[in-house]
Structure 1
Amino acid sequence: MASDTSIILVTGGTGTLGRLVVPLLREAGREVRVLSRHGRPTGRAGAAGADGVDHVAVDLLDGEGIGPALEGLGTVVHLAGGPKGDDVATRNLVRAARSADVRHFVLISVIGADRVPLAWLRSKLAAERAVAESGLPWTTLRAAQFHELTLKTVRAMAKSPVFPVPGGLRLQPVDARDVAARIAELALGGPSGLVPDLAGPEVYGLGDLARGYLKASGKRRPTMPVRIPGKAGRAYRAGDNLTLDGADTGKRTWEDFLAEHVGGDGSPASRTAQGPGRRSI
């Protein structure tokens, strides 16, 4: 079957990032097929649901049903991911994309995938390599940790009577909406290879992120410095999880995000901020 370049497949289309990307692609006039483990609501390729989006249930890890889900489309946007197995899922998807003659494969990855020695980041790097070596026209974007995951982390840590603060750990969290806008732009454009990383507009020590959360939530906790051991600890203290030069930056800061999601009155933030000296999207 010949590919229709107007149809875009989005894996993980119901996740944190995917549910923001899909409407942007629809607003651009593109047909969208969402692939997720559970599907919704049509469960078969070629039959759009009430939202005008074709939802298909496929488990990328076992590979069953991927081929039919890719029939007749031009672009794959691979956003699905988890703590393990991303390399396996991506290889399965790449194999099917080659058979379907997909013309553009877009992948989201993580800043530091090639530098921080953690198992889940090694899996991300293996996924990147599977795409780059596939023979398909491709684009990969590495993004910083999302605000949502940062919030989940500090909330969990704040449940302890004492807030542990790993020394030297810095993050540059980025808003998922800023990442979604960039992914949509890349998906609608041509293959670009490895594009500049996308990070948030400011770098924070974990203690700064914790204090911002505690203040926004009206909580008080004493902090206690701790040390991340081993090679991973050395990598984080060296800033290997950051891209301080040459990265694109989003607009929404950690404080903006907290004002929307944790602020006492629940009102949206009225400001946005940009870091100086960097390109913003």
Structure 2
Amino acid sequence: MAKPILVTGGTGDLGREVVRLLLDDGVAVRVMSRRPRPPEVSHEWARCDLRTGEGLAEAVDGVSAIVHCASTLGRGDEQVTRNLVEAARRAGSPHLVYISIVGIDVIRFFYYDEKLASEKVIEESGLPWTVLRATQFHELVARASAVQRWLPVTFMPSGFRFQPVSTGDVAARLVALACGEPSGRVPDLGGPEVRTARDLARAYQRSVGRRKPIVPLWLPGKASRAFRAGGNLTPGNATGVGTFEEFLETRV
């Protein structure tokens, strides 16, 4: 029997898509989650807490690769990744594939700092590894407008541009990487278009049948300067195909 691929964060937006694509390809999958296994799920399930390590040894046992999609959103990613790496080493050194973010080495922001530190942990782990950096997901960009739906205006950061990418495009790349040989740091993955924050907010409003003023909000600090300089963009790697409007048509 083929060894399964473990997907951490397998119940999140990206993790669910990775799991779906792997199953569609006939690949054995084990989902890692803090949640109990739903009754409708037939594939392997590992209930685990990456922070405490509870259930971690069992989760990584006998897997061929790990697609690390779990995140604490900057509240301990480095330690969580270190826990995973140490358990993976004891389990026989499976291929570790990590999803990271474009620009974390030039944008000084607490969440990005945690992701960059996690990359270093993986690179120095002694495990066979692959790291993919992607731009912001469509879901995140849409959420920035959605959370302001009850306000009379929508605030968007002045001078910011984004290159939103489909979770499906990112998941497909992760699946290909996990089923291939360890490749180290691979080319970044960006969405097909670089758009201003204002333009994306207007597209969201159109999709939900609203129209209200979009107010530019000047954000101070080094991180904001790096965003305005395009540190979060990778126009030379605009290999994602799903557009923001296509996402809005199907998800909003």
CA distance in 1, matches of 2:243, 2:126: 38
Matched letter for residue 95 of structure 1: E
| Cα deviation 1:115-140 (Å, max 9, x = unaligned) | 11110110011111111110000001
Correspondence for 2:4: 7
Contact 1:5 1:75 (8 Å CA) reproduced: no
CA distance in 1, matches of 2:148, 2:40: 40
> In the alignment, is residue 58 of structure 1 matched against residue 48 of structure 2?
yes
Contact 2:85 2:122 (8 Å CA) reproduced: yes
CA distance in 1, matches of 2:102, 2:7: 21
1:50 to partner: Cα distance: 5.2
SS of residue matched to 1:199: coil
Q: Which moved more, 1:134-143 or 1:155-164?
A: 155-164
1:72 to partner: Cα distance: 1.4
SS of residue matched to 1:26: helix
C-alpha root-mean-square deviation of aligned residues, in Å?
1.5
Matched letter for residue 232 of structure 2: N
Q: Which of 10, 15, 24 is the equivalent residue of 1:27?
A: 24
1:248 to partner: Cα distance: 4.7
> In the alignment, is residue 93 of structure 1 matched against residue 90 of structure 2?
no
Q: Which of 163, 171, 174 is the equivalent residue of 2:154?
A: 163
1:206 to partner: Cα distance: 0.5
Correspondence for 1:269: none
Q: Which of 114, 125, 133 is the equivalent residue of 1:142?
A: 133
> In the alignment, is residue 112 of structure 1 matched against residue 103 of structure 2?
yes
How many pairs does the alignment contain? 251
Matched letter for residue 54 of structure 1: E
| Cα deviation 1:207-227 (Å, max 9, x = unaligned) | 000111111211121122221
Contact 1:36 1:56 (8 Å CA) reproduced: yes
Contact 2:193 2:238 (8 Å CA) reproduced: no
Correspondence for 1:131: 122
1:21 to partner: Cα distance: 0.8
1:28 to partner: Cα distance: 2.3
Correspondence for 2:249: 259
CA distance in 1, matches of 2:196, 2:43: 41
- Structure number with greater Rg is 1
Correspondence for 2:207: 216
Q: Which of 188, 208, 221 is the equivalent residue of 1:230?
A: 221
CA distance in 2, matches of 1:108, 1:120: 14
SS of residue matched to 1:82: coil
Q: Which moved more, 1:60-69 or 1:121-130?
A: 60-69
Contact 2:101 2:135 (8 Å CA) reproduced: yes
CA distance in 2, matches of 1:137, 1:119: 27
Correspondence for 2:195: 204
TM-score by length of 2: 0.95
> In the alignment, is residue 17 of structure 1 matched against residue 14 of structure 2?
yes
Structure 2 unmatched ranges of 5 or more: none
SS of residue matched to 1:224: strand
SS of residue matched to 1:225: strand
Matched letter for residue 239 of structure 2: T
Matched letter for residue 16 of structure 1: D
CA distance in 2, matches of 1:244, 1:157: 29
| Cα deviation 1:98-130 (Å, max 9, x = unaligned) | 111123110111111111111011001111111
SS of residue matched to 1:106: strand
CA distance in 1, matches of 2:29, 2:156: 42
Q: Which of 38, 53, 61 is the equivalent residue of 1:71?
A: 61
CA distance in 1, matches of 2:7, 2:251: 26
Matched letter for residue 84 of structure 2: L
SS of residue matched to 1:148: helix
Contact 2:53 2:83 (8 Å CA) reproduced: yes
Contact 1:9 1:33 (8 Å CA) reproduced: yes
